[in-house]
A and B are shown apart, each in its own frame.
Chain A
Amino acid sequence: MKQLLTGILSLALVFSLAACSGGGGSATPAPNGGGSGNEAASTELNIYMWQQYISDQLISDFEAANNCKVNLSYMSDNADAITRLTAGGGQEYDLIMTCDAYMESLVAGDYVQKLNLDNIPNAGANINEAYWTAKDYCIPYLMNYIYVVYNTETCPIDITCYNDLLDPALKGQISTIDGARNLFPIALIALGYDPNSTEESEIAAAYEWLVKFNENVVAYGNAEQNLTNGTASVALTFDGNASWAMTEMGENNPLVVAPFTSDAVQLGFDLYVIPKGAAHVDLAEKFLNYICDPQVMAANLEEYPYSCPNDAAVAAASEAYRSDPARDFSYKENVFFQEDVGDALVIYNDYYQKLKVGE
């Protein structure tokens, strides 16, 4: 009996510990690809990116075409990728996904390699220049609008600007994305400030705005589930997630993109960089060239229906993708980008912390 109990209790401990460590999410770095000479083509590619964000078929096709093994490791937060790049360990990966907001610092800090775009001809041919920041250092992959969608059947009001989100009628109705640099710009725009403000007084005012907004928030994250299961009637989310929720709602989809009249929405890019000291640059360049191929990317978009900066791929994509209601809104040009805010990031984070803890 005692032994049984000991066994059971230790199993329980192990299980609960395993669950606790789940959040860490760091994968074991793969060792250097066999230590072969520089001339020989690499047979291994280590990519660090978001989970559920690239087609398995695309990966296995690439593996077959190049006779190599692609190791995908996943991040749980944008900050993870930055840690990988800046705190050392970047050389364990050949490609790291990050976003446009960090590019300036990453280039300035000399953490990423300059790309040889001659080896990536598909990028130059297909990617829309307007969506390509830090062109020599990164290849944009997919992009996301952060906008408001709502359920026309359950949402009590019509939403045409950010200030509508403070309406007391929406109490406990909003499911929103998380993160200081996603939430504060919205408040800053609602208040008529620069979305990338570095003025503490403006950020403080945005904090006050968000405190009111927070009263209407039911949850941070999981917007698509919360919309489809009825927990939330409004969501501040990415267009890709909205697309998923609208598809899930089926025939009589009640979800619409809020018809904003003047407020700008955030547009962000997820992009690939090659970290300094990457071991398999040749294969990384081949991979980047491969995903910039219009047909390859078009197939990927079927599975992950996000907005895409690759114009040729969008043109080659299916009718269903191009007529997606999640991308059917009129203010696509009225966007702002997240910019590097330098030292002010600390101010943002401190106010964000205060917001989340709730005073």
Chain B
Amino acid sequence: MKKPIDDASSLQAINRRRDVRRKTLPALAQAGPVSVWMILFVTIPMLFIIYISFMSRGVFGDVVYEFSLESYQTLLDTTYFKVILKSLQVAVFTTVLCLGLGYPFAYYIARKPPEVASKLIMLIMIPFWTNSLMRLNSWLLLFQTSGPINTFLQWSGITDHPITFIYTDALVVLGMITNMLPFAVLPLYSTIEKLQKSLLEASSDLGATPVQTFLKVTLPLTFPGIFSAIILVFIPSLGIYTVSDVLGGGKVLYIGNIIKNQFGSIRNWPLGAALSVLLLVITGLLIFIYTRFAKLEDMEVV
């Protein structure tokens, strides 16, 4: 026998239960696992990094749990400022080049029929089937003093003595670009692909030259892709240390290498943590600026 629902409070209780079933449970099931994951492996380690950045270092390279601002004072040293500036320069340079190379290529792919396009996208990914350290080491082999590129240059008479390519900033940037290019091409491709041809036709019907069409129609409409390409390339380029480690031979140092050294050979964890916090702040600032200019949902990856 069904009990009639007469008073307001039991109605509320039923509504609440229904809400739990209809809203909370699905939300938990959908966002729960990833939240737990992020809290365990991102939030907590990050808080710990911030915590030890305010601690002191022991002589033996251990962390002494005493409050100290020493690490942040060290950061004020011009040495670190220069490294950060240099890292920012390289990251900007990498991003600009990735965009410059990636945009025309993404445009080219997007104008192909889907079957061809997917094959071309695949081509970009093929180098990524190997471990990135392998790829970096093969760059070293290619460019080393007795390597094929130097041999060719000498054979063809372009130079009479071998050129030192390896362990230079230029090779590091080359390595960065090859590592980052897919992160520029893929978001660019997905926005350019969505660009409606009719708009371009309309533009040219109304008398715009191809250059004008590109600047006034194509470029603004693909801004979301450009923005996400910038974010996806710039942020990893700022922190990456494997490329400069392998191709820079320990002579080319960026902020990522400095952080790695603090946790490794130099063993000054609080300073490493403070540098990581600084990197977080720079990244956070960039995301903030980005969200001021573009809506977050525009950050189109796919």
A interface vs B, CB < 8 Å?
A: 1-2, 4-6, 8-9, 11-12, 15-16, 18-20, 22-23, 76-80, 82-83, 86-87, 105, 109, 172, 178-180, 217-222, 225, 229-231, 342-343, 345-346, 349, 352-354, 356-359
Contacts and interface: CB of A to CB of B under 8 A. Distances in A.
Interface in B67-124: 78-80, 82-83, 114, 117-118, 121-122
B133 A19 contact: yes
A6 B186 CA distance: 9
Contacts of A353: 79, 258, 261, 266, 268
Nearest to B131: A19
B24 interface: no
Contacts of A109: 60
A19 B190 CA distance: 26
A335 to B, nearest CB: 23
Given A9-B301, A82-B60, A357-B258, A217 B83 contact: no
- B60, B79, B114, B268: most-surrounded residue (chain A CB, <10 A): B60
A79 B61 contact: yes
Contacts of A87: 62
B175 to A, nearest CB: 12
Given A219-B249, A354-B79, A8 B236 contact: no
Interface residues of B, number: 54
Contacts of B82: 357, 359
B302 A178 contact: no
Interface in B239-272: 240-242, 245, 249-251, 253, 258, 260-261, 264-268
A86 B59 CA distance: 12
A229 B62 CA distance: 39
The list of the 5 closest CB pairs from A to B, nearest first, reads: A219-B249, A220-B250, A19-B132, A230-B145, A230-B146
Given A76-B264, A86-B62, A230-B162, A12 B128 contact: yes
Contacts of B79: 353-354, 357, 359
A221 B186 contact: no
Contact of A11 (B128, B132, B146, B167): B128
A95 to B, nearest CB: 21
B27 interface: no
A357 B275 CA distance: 14
